[in-house]
Structure 1
Amino acid sequence: MKRVLFIAVMIPLSLQLTAQSVSTLQDTARIYTEVDVNPKFPGGLKAFDSYIDSNSVKILKADHTSGIVIALVLIERDGKVTMPKIVKSLTHATDSAAIYLLNNSPLWKPAFKNGLPVRSRWPAVVRFNGAQYTQGENNTEGKIIKPKYVEVTVDEPNPQNSVDPKKIYKMYEQAPEFPGGIEKFALYLKQNFNLPPNSNGIKGRVILSFVVELDGSLTDVRVARGLSPDIDKEAIRVISKGPKWHPGIWNSKPVRIAFLTHIDMPINP
């Protein structure tokens, strides 16, 4: 998988960068498709099926179609299910019910990457069995006597796999990247960053925010956290005058992405 952020460790007249120094600052927004530990519904697959069975009767009619709906969901770092998208449809009613039940499901155990919880894509298989309803008025075990029909609509306003070319996204499937990757980025900084006079001894980190446009150009370059006016100004200059980046990807298409990178400055005396 490609790295998301870059660190440039600067000393007077030189810059050094190592693979081990890659920051995880932006990883909280990254969506992983390859993880070390998969996300999991609390209790496992049988518990998930039980959750669907016990709740689908509340929103589907008794004669609903039986079968499988597959939805691609985003499991957040706290286990919340978001952004379900139907990838295998059954009927409009069951598709709508699947979206509703996934959006309202208990918190999952999130995926883990390198020992940390991460956001991840996961295909959720929602099985709809023939509904069974308890007959009669007595309901001492708390079973559902009859279905309570609920009007459910699919809460996906945009067609699947569509992107808005004007929207600035804060999440991505593939991060924007400096051409050539992290090593080329470090080399570019080494060759082009001009250490301002009287900046020796300043230690810390300049965090830069910017938008990576569809064509890879950078706009709205700003200092999110600075060190000194001179260093901040030079950081903006060197990032702004650099080559175009490879744009970020969302739904398999290039999109405008709000991105962060930073430059660490341990200045030797």
Structure 2
Amino acid sequence: MHMLVRQLALVALLSTVSLTAAQAQKKLKYPKGPAASEIYDAVQKPAVPVGGLPAYASYLERNQQYPTQALRNGKDGTVNVTFVVEKTGVISNVAVQQPLDPALDAEAVRLIKGGPKWTPAEHKGGKVRQRVTVPISYMLPLGAGGPAPAVVDDQPTKPPVGTNGAPAPTVVTPEQPARPVGGTDAFFEWIQKNQRYPAQARQRKVEGRVPVEFLIQKDGSLTDVKLAGKRLGSGLDEEALRLIKAAPKWAPAQFQGQPVKQKMVLPVIFQL
């Protein structure tokens, strides 16, 4: 009887050992891969935009638009957009992490959704879904909304300043900033319609933004036009100056019910 019990126990033990070894062999031979639906934040090989990060940054810069409503309200800042790069390279679940402004948030989402596909992430030998966050920054052009300075007049209402004793103009914060007649969208539409892409720049495939500074006079005319940033060359700088000099009048800034001068810096965008 005792011998039979020991034999049965030995059979059971051998069966257990055999089953455990089979399971271990199966686990070793067929490793468990990443879960099909799992979204990773950190991976061995992160997802990257097709064409590379410099090309993606160039896409964002060329296609970013500053919403008219945000300009009017003097809104700026950074919108962090999070999304999932799927195993196919398409993006999904696009959302704003912390809302900044409705117009800026919507534009940032539009920009990300309209972007190129991505090369999917890889982890533990397979393609996986990865969560990515891209910051979209908006910086108000000088004078475009908010507490931008304006000049009431050129008569000395303050003590003289400078070594030459020149009178200081009165500088104030306008109650109503200068605006393009018809709105910002209409102004940039006029720029695009009247833009003459220089042949040299087209041949060299040069594109980008040319910041132009100008003064909006009390009658709405644009004067003192000059470049305000990095030159692009190939005739683009000269074309940007020509466009602003020929642009329609603006509605001047207002202070205490009177028109005042105001400085502005806006980019002229060139895109092939």
Q: Shared fold by TM > 0.5?
A: no
Higher relative contact order (CA 8 A, sep 6+): 1
Higher helix share: 2
Q: Which of these two proteins has the greater Rg computed from alpha carbons?
A: 2
TM-score category by the smaller chain?
Answer: 0.3 to 0.5
